[in-house]
Structure 1
């Protein structure tokens, strides 16, 4: 026999050079023998292992399994066992050892032959983690994978593909026929034709519908590839599948929204346009009605949109389009004129605003153009009528003023004489009993004289002494007097004065203006009401505003405000506001009135001529 003549030394030498880990232990796991490979792999010498057991260097997580294996061996009297366990090396790390174990029940010894499979286990663990990450990624992206071997008929579906289709591995065995049963009837030919003509390309992209087991219809996007044998026959199909139901649903909603938008926009009188990347991409049909040109002509020559703008407005509007790239520009609106091919002009109110994507990037501009020609014509007519009324009112004021200047002297002289004789008679002892009557007559003469004074202030050619000064300071100067009058009439007087530019003013006349406006507001309120006096800048205008909390001015009265001798008050002369309008006219200013059920505000607007 070939083994004859070998000594124990020969066997020991063979055991020492074999790469396998060899170990002999008793039934309690105590070491009886370890070879050199054992010492080299785990780092312990045979001497260091004397008296210890394999169990003592076993990984804690493997001890329960090891205990169960020993119990199984003892109960079943097995002779052989294959296990994989982790053991603590002398250097402090764990290594995987795959053992083939043989039991000698007669001698009660355990013979073990092991291999270091640590690298293999690391590879398996890396592959397992990679597979887990892949499955997680597929689940996150709703991306499934499949393969079909045309030679063997073998099918493979990933877990995510199973889930996408609403199935479980327990109830479904992947196969082509079962898949085709789930494909929407309208999409079956798409699959069949693709597989019939595989030579047109190495990759296909399909979108199809699938009817799941719960009858829900889903949309899938599929990328398909195939392998061929040397003869050109397809031997393997494989591909990735993604659930795009949400995207498709959004596309359908977007399409429906676009259809509704188009239906709405194309029936509006307003002109809607969209510019993207500096190019016109849409103009609504209303453009043809307003501009008098076809939409097609604008697409062919976008410059005609700018060319149609009135020369006096072009530079201003053109600048707004030049600034399209400015991402800080928000809503832009302005009014301008256009010239139509037939020579007529239209007024356009433009509102233009930017559209940004989810990342704040400017993607387009949308504009709305309203034809406001009729509104402009109406405004011009209203302004014309207002100016005509203002001219008529000023002419009446002028006429009254001229009359006052002409007759004031002739009336005042006799009145002065009469007043003097009444004072003389009232001092006579035998007339004392008539003093009450004399006082009444003198008071009425004084009242008539004050009316004549107001009358004279209406004169157009009245001399004003203009001096550059602050409107705010004039209000502050007269405020104590106004406040005192307010206390008597139980009215609150408050100020809200901002700094304003200094302008040429006649202080006496402005004081009279403020007094008259405050008195007019005070008479319109019940006790407890508040008069508010303000000064502020409005663009280039200096504004004096006097507000009350009365019940407002009726429209029929508002039209006659400022007309001499027109009054709604029982004891009024109708000259207070007429004087205000005269003073304002002599200062090249104007009066605006804002009235409502909660009160009235007179705005006196002075031009900044400094």
Structure 2
């Protein structure tokens, strides 16, 4: 009577005396239960044993595996570049027949029923201790791993953003959008090059610190804006996110780089457009303000012709001329092309200049401006942009009070921030509308565009600040701007906490 294998399948006499595991029942049970696929093949290339894990790996039943000899499987080898070499089993069989072990060969087995490849990691060992050589084949199913890698590769290569890997000092990998971003003809132009060669020098120190944090602490680096250069020398404005990753058993940094150059240009154009719009709106009030000292100057010139020059007349004329010059200077700030030039600034000085400029327009609307500020509030920022911000806020406050009223402009120090508030006595803004403030073309004013507050939000973001809006219907609205203070330590500006 023929004995049966561990799955109830009849076996030949040679099956029971398999030299690979002998007659040890414990070893037999182990082979049957382990998650690794095991196939034992005779010298005639016939399957004499297969466990359940092998059936799962090959997506075949035990009977299908026994009926089909391994050479009949459509084996494929996967090369490093992803190409597939058919009939790879010939190489494996040749190595086995020559008495060599086969270790960790990645192969694909075509499954005719599913129409898909089963990706397997194959190892094999010949056993020639008996007259009839047998071969132990071990299979690990890596289909899910391979498919996930292919999906990741597809997503990476077709991403709209540049996805790059650095080891902390130099480029290790760039996808095609990354090569296109830096205007490289191929990866060989960038792989191995220090990434700092393309990064603006002012970002070097900060980038090194973020790289250290990602590599040593395994933390995700915050999203920041940086300036980069292409291989052809073109300047790029980019948003960069650093994520820890592993490549070749080494800790690496994956950079996701998004080109925002066009967005920055559009923001600058919008800011310039809004500045011109404001300049046009206050032109009438500025003309009125200039007309007053001009009238005084004309009158004193006539008196001087009639009575001769006196020190008193000349002093008054000098004051009036200085007033005209001050107003003209403020108008020039509005008309300058927008460039970001951050330096340490005195916030009280900016408040005095802007409120002085806006007083004439406010008086025409029967509105008065009350200024109260703390001394020695120093911030790092662009003077033109900050003036633009204050003009927009005060202008909105003036227009919120068509029947007149008061505007309170205050500044104070609070936990490392300069806190600026602009408060009006208007009718207020409904709570459900506050969250929409700053969106393009959303406005609470008839004839407004909603672009002014959007420009304000962009300027505040550019200066690492925060904007808060609070309002009560019938009681007015308060806009609060928080900007980081700067302290001078050994003549070196630094954040003041």
Shorter-chain TM-score bucket reads 0.3 to 0.5
Q: 1 or 2 for the larger relative contact order (CA 8 Å, sep ≥6)? A: 2
Greater Cα radius of gyration, structure 1 or 2: 1
TM-score normalised over the length of structure 1: 0.40
